[in-house]
Amino acid sequence: MTAEFTTIANIIQNRRTVKAFMMNGQKAPNAHVAALLELADWAPTHGYTEPWRFTVYETPAEFCVAHANLYKDNTAGSEFAEGVYNNLRAQGDKASHVIIATMKRGNLPKIPAFEEKAAVSCAIQNILLGATALNMASFWSTGGMALKPAMKEFLGLDDEDQVMGILYLGYSDEHPAGKRTVPLAEKVKWH
């Protein structure tokens, strides 16, 4: 093993989902977030479609208020829950930045949509790992309105594009313990 392996293994294993409400309100320099986006841009990409796109909010409340309003405006009165609205509105209050990661579907016939989603997922993981290396907390969410047509419209996406996640970035005083519930040996067939 190399020193580089040990370094990256520590980062990969120490990355934990830290939900936005567990963050502590500390702000990250925009330059750090820009550096994370540079890492995202080095994700693998079949056919160089480079399908990752990011919408960055350096003031999370700006997105969260819009997110809550999307919920309100697109939820039938009988289904609307004030608690959900309030949670969405306050979700980023202790985060530093919100990044919405989307997949821009390309037009190369040999590249199926799943490969473009896979590439964006790799780009997202680059952000999460980079954040871990900067002692930042991160939360990849597909909750709330993230996967609803109203969010696509809000972001100006085309039909074939896909919202891949709402990433909350910040700092936290807590570091949840990680767990995996299925032994690796059950996930691997080694011939």
Ligand X SMILES: Cc1cc2nc3c(=O)[nH]c(=O)nc-3n(C[C@H](O)[C@H](O)[C@H](O)COP(=O)(O)O)c2cc1C
CB-wise, 30 or 142, nearer to ligand X? 142
125 binds ligand X (CB under 6 A): no
Which residues 6+ apart lie within 8 Å of 95 measured at CB? 20, 23, 60, 139, 168, 169, 170
Residues 6+ apart with CB under 8 A from 122: 43, 44
CB of 125 to ligand X, least distance (A): 9
Under rule CB under 6 A, residue 117 binds ligand X: no
Shortest reach from residue 64's CB to ligand X, in Å: 15
Q: Decide: is 24 part of the binding site for ligand X (CB under 6 A).
A: no
CB 118, min distance to ligand X, A: 12
Per rule CB under 6 A, is residue 10 in the interface with ligand X? no
What x/- string results for residues 132 through 171 when contact with ligand X is judged by CB under 6 A?
Answer: --------xxxx---------------------x------
Cα 69 to chain centroid, rounded: 21
87 binds ligand X (CB under 6 A): no
Instruction: Report which DSSP code applies to 134.
Output: T
Query: How far apart (Å, rounded) are the C-alpha atoms in residues 84 and 117?
Result: 28
The closest alpha carbon to 169, from 4, 28, 14, 9, belongs to: 28
What residue ranges bind ligand X (CB under 6 A)?
16-17, 140-143, 165, 178
